[in-house]
């Protein structure tokens, strides 16, 4: 049996102005005594709540006779209205009634903090969702959303709002702004409809913000802030999900990762919002001890304090309960930074809410139970105080009053016996919070543990001693200075080796590393000054001997480790391009450019490999990062190669040349050992000549320029090579010219290209060249893919391709650890989704996983089939990424060390190698069945 609101009241404020309290008792004399006293005491403290109670006098009498949950549900149920004109009034009435009910439930002890903040959040969710869908209905009714009907209103036509901050966490405060990020699922529209759809969504969003934020005679609903979206100064108020994903992959910062911990779809297409957040998981949850995140969070808090004048000692009058020292934000940062550090590995720490996270941290052993309890109590008390401050006049304030009169009113409203009692209690809370949280952000260095005896951990101590003794004769220790430095490092290095998961394997890899070092003084000095390098070296040696071998031959890449951002987020193309351009600009000549680029690429590859090795980045992030490095290299080198070539043969005729990335480079899925699949396309008439000392006709000019670019990438200099290059995907393959004119490219794709060449185009992406030429090539590619393709012929050709591939790779397919070749493996799955993309003319969706999602939406793939294919593709891609750290051939993890096995199991989610092997075989069979069935019924 449910209980009426009036019967649940257990407390009330102290009436600050007795005359006002008496007037309210008279006005509400017919209410039950507890409800009458609560309304009277509240009216005597808060002018805003007194006025609200007077306006809603009749409704309030009905509400206190109902269970509070029922009263809240009725408020929300009364909101919907098909007319935007009257909806605004309905929303404002609902906000006023909801704010009054929630305040009385809070002040009367009817609801605990979680119910209060939850009800405020539900009110905001309902307001946003109702406003959004009502305005969308108008837009659809006007025919302004291409392909959308009334049936699409229920799902927001692909438009959705992400609630951020306290709204996202379900912890909205009493007089809070609501922070939203507005996105739309671009896969619901054809590419040529994106612009029109986005314009409609922008109009809807702008009207929604105005509807919610504007003050009228009925008040306002919620102040709405859209500035948490990517690059708000230069992006529209609504952006496509793929645009947002690309931003976070390349430019996302620590504060944005922290913000997305609390992100939650709250309105519109909730399913699309959840899918977007799922795809953003690698960005937010990086499964690493990212102490840079702690520093970033603390620096951000200090900048906020400094900007708002909140630094300095704790003086309670005028203190900011949210941002000041010992305030709410310190507790939130304390919890959130631990989530950033640990949440990637531990899903139990991915809750959006502060109090459950504190409890989970204590349960998992990451925070002392006493600390978690004290911070939780302080959080409840400070949030309650924050609500009282805001209830006084519905003001977005977080400051304790500074005047005696203000303090007295606030103390009565909070139920303290005096202002002094309130100040003492708050000061104690602030000091407790600051004392518990500050050491985490600025800890003292932990004491060193005593080094254990190392020999007993080796399976063969005599062999281990033999390896170590042999170090005295290696080139890196040929000087007394090097030997002296290494003697100081050796005990600590061996201690860490002894703690590796497989000490014997780690020692063998360390031995291989040391023997490849040409010299040691500089490296040993750097390790002595930066002990974190020892940890990293042991990690590498304990996981993959191949990377240790590489490190021994390229020890210079360790210089990058001591940079402040080495373990921070991996950079995107724009940042990498700028970084490499600065390196190239400092080079004295062309040869120096090539060597400097090789050094830069190796350092970036090493950093990406370490991120994968340590779990700082997920395999999918790593694939994007490797691809971004390659794109930066091509984009920066092409002008350098062109300028060097022009010194002999003059300026390029026509509009220049652009580089088309194909294969995994095009779809941003590269590994550390991926070749670059390239096509060079130029725009010039065949009779045009260059104007240099040795002029060339356009076809010859661009063919030789292409060869010069290939040489710049593949020629072995003292710093090695950059990439292997494969040009076989160009028109006519090996028989065709190295560079193709745009006109010839168009003609070839329209009249001569084989089906497999059109399939390959679905991954094509322009990575370098003049902007206008890029646009024309992009149009040509889109036209080729969008052109009608006979489904029967496409499927027949694909079946034939699969048959020939199966015959050619029969031996590879028999190996359960094969990732790429064979029925139901990566190439087979990719071929199927590219087939669907070609049949449906899908442009711009290059990643096979995204293509599969799109084909499921189009109905060409069943939902379960699509999930099976993408799940298998993800697992195979993850295994391939870590395997390439060890070898560019198929790797059997059981033949590698324990550290490598642990890495494989971590990225694939398997419990052991036998389970993983069986999963690969089972999923390959299942995927093969799906592919066969789909092609047979196409």
Rounded Cα distance, 290 and 286, in Å: 8
Where is mean pLDDT largest: 173-177, 625-629, 647-651? 625-629
pLDDT at 661: 96
Rounded Cα distance, 905 and 910, in Å: 5
Confidence band (pLDDT; 50, 70, 90) for 814?
confident
User: Residue 612: in which H helix or E strand, if any?
Assistant: helix 590-614
Closest to 493 in 3D by CA, of 513, 478, 474, 522: 513
893 pLDDT above the threshold of 50:
yes
- Decide which of 589 and 299 is more confident: 589
Orientation of helix 113-141 relative to helix 194-213, angle to 10°: 130
Where is mean pLDDT largest: 251-260, 486-495, 558-567? 251-260
Confidence band (pLDDT; 50, 70, 90) for 481?
confident
366 pLDDT above the threshold of 50:
yes
**Per-position b or e across 853-884, b if 16+ CB within 10 A of its CB:** bbbbeeebbeeebbebbbebbbbbbbbbbbbb
553 pLDDT above the threshold of 70:
no
The model's pLDDT over 756-806, given as tens digits with 9 standing for 90+, comes to 999 999 999 999 999 999 999 999 999 999 999 999 999 999 999 999 988
pLDDT at 207: 95
Q: Mean pLDDT over all residues of the chain?
A: 87
User: Residue 247: in which H helix or E strand, if any?
Assistant: helix 241-251
Q: Which residues are CB-contacts of 291 (< 8 A; sequence separation ≥ 6)?
A: 341, 567
- The answer to whether 145 and 157 have CB atoms below 8 angstroms apart is yes
pLDDT at 171: 96
The model's pLDDT over 559-580, given as tens digits with 9 standing for 90+, comes to 666 555 677 788 889 999 999 9
Closest to 346 in 3D by CA, of 624, 621, 622, 615: 615
Rounded Cα distance, 257 and 241, in Å: 16
290 pLDDT above the threshold of 60:
no
Average pLDDT, stretch 535-562?
A: 68
Average pLDDT, stretch 799-825?
A: 87
Q: E-strand spans in 123-171?
A: 159-163
pLDDT at 403: 94
pLDDT at 444: 40
Average pLDDT, stretch 34-54?
A: 96
User: Residue 409: in which H helix or E strand, if any?
Assistant: helix 404-414
- Decide which of 702 and 85 is more confident: 702
Least reliable range by pLDDT among 122-126, 241-245, 608-612, 760-764: 608-612
449 pLDDT above the threshold of 50:
no
Closest to 486 in 3D by CA, of 433, 438, 532, 523: 523
Average pLDDT, stretch 702-723?
A: 92
Least reliable range by pLDDT among 289-293, 520-524, 592-596, 821-825: 289-293
Supply the Cα-derived Rg of the chain in whole angstroms.
32
């Amino acid at each position: 049996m449910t209980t009426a609101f009036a019967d649940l009241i257990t407390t009330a404020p102290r009436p600050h102005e007795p005359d006002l309290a008496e007037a309210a008792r008279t006005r509400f004399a017919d209410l039950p005594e507890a409800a009458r006293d609560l309304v009277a005491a509240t009216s005597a403290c808060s002018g805003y709540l007194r006025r609200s109670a007077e306006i809603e006098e009749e409704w309030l009498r009905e509400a206190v006779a109902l269970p509070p949950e029922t009263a809240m549900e009725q408020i929300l149920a009364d909101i919907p209205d098909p007319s935007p004109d009257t909806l605004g009034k309905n929303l404002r009435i609902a906000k006023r009634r909801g704010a009054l009910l929630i305040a009385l439930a809070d002040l009367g002890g009817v609801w605990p903090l979680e119910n209060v903040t939850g009800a405020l959040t539900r009110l905001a969710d309902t307001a946003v969702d109702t406003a959004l869908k009502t305005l969308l209905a108008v837009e659809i009714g006007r025919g302004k959303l291409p392909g959308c009907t009334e049936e699409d209103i229920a799902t927001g036509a692909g438009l959705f709002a992400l609630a951020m901050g306290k709204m996202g966490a379900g912890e909205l405060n009493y007089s809070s702004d609501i922070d939203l990020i507005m996105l739309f699922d671009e896969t619901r529209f054809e590419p040529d409809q994106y612009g029109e759809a986005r314009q409609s969504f922008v109009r809807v969003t702008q009207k929604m913000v105005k509807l919610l934020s504007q003050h009228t005679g009925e008040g306002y609903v919620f102040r709405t802030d859209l500035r948490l979206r990517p690059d708000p100064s230069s992006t529209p108020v609504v952006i496509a999900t793929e645009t947002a994903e690309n931003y976070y992959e390349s430019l996302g910062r620590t504060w944005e990762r922290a913000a997305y911990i609390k992100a939650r779809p709250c309105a519109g297409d909730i399913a699309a919002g959840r899918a977007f957040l799922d795809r953003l998981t690698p960005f937010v949850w990086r499964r690493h001890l990212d102490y840079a995140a702690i520093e970033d969070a603390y620096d951000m808090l200090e900048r906020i304090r400094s900007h708002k004048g909140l630094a300095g000692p704790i003086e309670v009058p005028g203190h900011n309960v949210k941002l000041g020292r010992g305030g709410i934000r310190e507790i939130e940062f304390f919890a959130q930074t631990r989530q950033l550090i640990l949440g990637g590995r531990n899903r139990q720490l991915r809750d959006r809410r502060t109090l459950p996270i504190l409890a989970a941290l204590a349960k998992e052993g990451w925070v002392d139970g006493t600390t978690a309890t004290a911070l939780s109590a302080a959080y409840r008390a400070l949030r309650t105080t924050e609500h009282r401050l805001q209830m006084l006049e519905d003001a977005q304030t977080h400051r304790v009053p500074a005047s005696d009169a203000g303090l007295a009113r606030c103390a009565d409203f909070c139920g303290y016996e005096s202002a002094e009692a309130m100040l003492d209690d708050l000061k104690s809370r602030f000091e407790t919070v600051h004392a518990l949280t500050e050491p985490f952000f600025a800890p003292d260095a932990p004491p060193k543990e005593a080094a254990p005896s190392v020999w007993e951990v080796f399976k063969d101590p005599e062999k281990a001693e033999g390896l170590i003794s042999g170090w005295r004769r290696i080139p890196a220790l040929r000087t007394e200075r090097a030997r002296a430095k290494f003697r100081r490092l050796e005990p600590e290095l061996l201690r860490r080796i002894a703690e590796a998961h497989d000490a014997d394997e780690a020692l063998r890899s360390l031995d291989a590393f040391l023997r490849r070092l040409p010299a040691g003084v500089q490296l040993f000095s750097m390790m002595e000054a930066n002990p974190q390098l020892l940890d990293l070296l042991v990690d590498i040696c304990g996981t993959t001997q191949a990377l240790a071998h590489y490190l021994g031959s390229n020890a210079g890449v360790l210089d990058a480790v001591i940079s402040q951002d080495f373990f921070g987020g991996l950079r995107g193309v724009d940042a990498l391009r700028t970084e490499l351009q600065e390196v190239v600009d400092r080079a004295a000549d062309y040869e120096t450019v090539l060597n400097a680029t090789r050094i830069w690429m190796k350092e970036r590859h090493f950093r990406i490999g370490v991120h994968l090795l340590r779990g700082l980045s997920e395999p999918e992030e790593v694939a994007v990062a490797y691809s971004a490095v390659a794109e930066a290299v091509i984009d920066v080198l092409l002008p350098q190669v062109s300028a060097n070539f022009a010194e002999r043969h003059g300026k390029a005729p026509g509009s220049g040349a652009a580089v088309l990335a194909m294969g995994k480079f095009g779809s941003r899925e590269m590994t550390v050992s991926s070749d670059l699949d390239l096509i060079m396309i130029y725009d010039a008439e065949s009779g045009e000549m260059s104007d240099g000392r040795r002029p060339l006709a356009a076809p010859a000019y661009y063919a030789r320029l292409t060869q010069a670019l290939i040489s710049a990438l593949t020629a072995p200099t003292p710093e090695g090579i950059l990439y292997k290059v494969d040009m076989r995907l160009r028109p006519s393959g090996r028989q065709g010219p190295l560079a193709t004119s745009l006109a010839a490219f168009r003609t070839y794709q329209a009249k001569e290209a084989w089906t497999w060449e059109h399939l390959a185009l679905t991954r094509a992406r322009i990575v370098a060249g003049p902007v206008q030429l890029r646009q024309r090539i992009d149009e040509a590619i889109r036209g080729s893919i969008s052109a009608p393709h006979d489904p029967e012929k496409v499927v027949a050709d694909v079946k034939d391709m699969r048959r020939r591939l199966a015959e050619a790779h029969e031996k590879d397919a028999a190996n359960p650890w094969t990732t790429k070749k064979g029925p139901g493996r990566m190439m087979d799955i990719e071929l199927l989704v590219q087939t669907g993309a070609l049949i449906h003319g899908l442009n711009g969706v290059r990643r096979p996983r995204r293509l599969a999602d799109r084909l499921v939406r189009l109905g060409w793939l069943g939902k379960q089939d699509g999930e099976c294919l993408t799940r298998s593709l993800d697992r195979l891609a993850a295994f391939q990424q870590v395997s390439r750290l060890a070898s560019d051939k198929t790797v059997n993890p059981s033949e590698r060390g324990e550290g490598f096995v642990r890495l494989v199991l971590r990225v694939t989610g398997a419990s052991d190698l036998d389970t993983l092997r069986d999963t690969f075989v089972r999923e390959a069979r299942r995927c093969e069945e799906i592919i066969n069935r789909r092609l047979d019924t196409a």
